[in-house]
Structure 1
Amino acid sequence: MSDEQQAVRRGRGRRPAAEVRAEVLAATGRLFLEEGLRAVTFDRVAKEAGSSKVTLYKWWPSPGAMAAEAYFARSAPVLAFADTGDLRADLVSQLTSFVRWLTRDGAATPVAELIGAAQVDPGVARAWAEEYARPRRELARERLRAACRQGQLREDADLDVIVDQLWGACYHRLLVLQVPFDETLVPRLVDHALHGAAGRA
């Protein structure tokens, strides 16, 4: 940001906290996805967003926690969960968006870095679990519960296992096996989760 731009920002007077927070998260999300977790520092983000480091220290326990919240905000519209009434189509659509977000839109490395940071930074771990992983898991469970009510899944279907099979398989390939994968994997994941691999009687 240029000195002129910063001067313009200072001349605007005190900005509402919600506006400042939104601009900080936008700057953080951009840095995080383009340059990785190492680029997200309070100094760099404060400069990019025209904010103060004091404000950032007040709102987030660490740059990693700030990056986590920015990732959630940035990914939410990309990973929205539709309900068209066709469970298989909705699962394929959402999971395809997720895989594309990781593999084609460049989120794979930043996400891997963020999950790695969550293993050593309690603030990041808390943010990842409470503000992203569990809420997103619940969105999937809501869609699966609707499918149970509509008779598209058995009433006793283990929804948590289905979620683990689908999204967990992607994280496993990304973080543990570290093997390439793309959206062509999605229909097979969905069909195995919904129909299993047992032979026909």
Structure 2
Amino acid sequence: MSPRRPDRRSEEAAKAVVQAAMELCREVGYRKLSIEGIAARAGVGKNTIYRWWPSKAAVLLDGLLTTWRTDATFPDTGDFVADIKTQMAAASRILGDPDVFPHYRALIGEAQHDPEIHRALWDSFIGHLAGAAADRIRIAQREGQVRADADPDLVTELLYGAAYYRRLLTPRTADTDHINAIVDLAFTGLAPPAE
């Protein structure tokens, strides 16, 4: 679900607005990004932007959604640990992209006090990925690779929460070694009991 309002008449102008927002955010940062600046760069009136989007965050979210084509499909090699490491490392690389991460971090921050952006970010991006992870965990449970009593949503939060924490709240990066360490450490507590 996009926070954008659907009553746009000019798709070309809308694309110009989104492109201007992405460029300006990259150049001046989210805090200095303004609807006035976006309008000037896109060659439209600010009232036009407000007719189509409720905020600069909504414009930026549309920009990320149009440029970010994230495949939520999990590999299924039959080895859950290897598959989750592969998928988490791929997600971490996307988040590590310097053209993506500053925008995404800004939207995560904005979502903390803007319920509309929070819902749109969940509905259009995060929820889809979390659902795919939970589905893969359910498969691993049926195959006996993850404890049957483990809540798939909680397992998703456990695994991805650690990577998000490092990426969003520390100066360190969530590289492949870090992802592998998260999964290895968590999985020792998730493995089914030995028979």
Distance 1:99 1:169 in 2: 11
Give the aligned partner of residue 5 of structure 2.
none
Kept in 1, the 8 Å contact 2:17–2:42? The answer is: yes
Is 1:84 aligned with 2:99? no
Give the aligned partner of residue 180 of structure 2.
187
Give the aligned partner of residue 66 of structure 1.
59
How many Å apart are 1:111 and its aligned residue?
2.9
Q: Which amino acid aligns with 1:165?
A: L
Match of 1:128 among 121, 127, 133: 121
How many Å apart are 1:37 and its aligned residue?
1.6
Count of equivalent residues? 184
How many Å apart are 1:134 and its aligned residue?
2.2
Is 1:115 aligned with 2:108? yes
How many Å apart are 1:120 and its aligned residue?
2.9
SS of 1:124's equivalent in the other structure is: helix
- Bigger mean CA offset, 157-166 vs 110-119: 110-119
Q: In proportion to residue count, which structure has more helix?
A: 1
Kept in 1, the 8 Å contact 2:150–2:190? The answer is: no
How many Å apart are 1:132 and its aligned residue?
2.6
Give the aligned partner of residue 3 of structure 1.
none
Q: Which amino acid aligns with 1:179?
A: P
Distance 2:27 2:85 in 1: 27
Distance 1:41 1:70 in 2: 15
SS of 1:143's equivalent in the other structure is: helix
Kept in 2, the 8 Å contact 1:40–1:64? The answer is: no
- Bigger mean CA offset, 40-49 vs 114-123: 40-49
1:49-85 C-alpha deviation (Å, 9 max, x unpaired): 45553442122111112212322333333x5433333
Question: Relative to structure 1, is the Cα distance of residues 90 and 120 closer, same or farther in structure 2, using a 3 angstrom cutoff?
Answer: same
Distance 1:130 1:35 in 2: 28
Structure 1: 5+ residue runs without aligned partners? 1-14
Structure 2: 5+ residue runs without aligned partners? 1-7
Q: Which amino acid aligns with 1:95?
A: M
Question: Relative to structure 1, is the Cα distance of residues 44 and 173 closer, same or farther in structure 2, using a 3 angstrom cutoff?
Answer: same
How many Å apart are 1:158 and its aligned residue?
1.5
Q: Matches of residues 141-152 of structure 1 in structure 2 within 5 Å?
A: 141-152=134-145
Distance 1:197 1:134 in 2: 23
Kept in 1, the 8 Å contact 2:166–2:174? The answer is: no
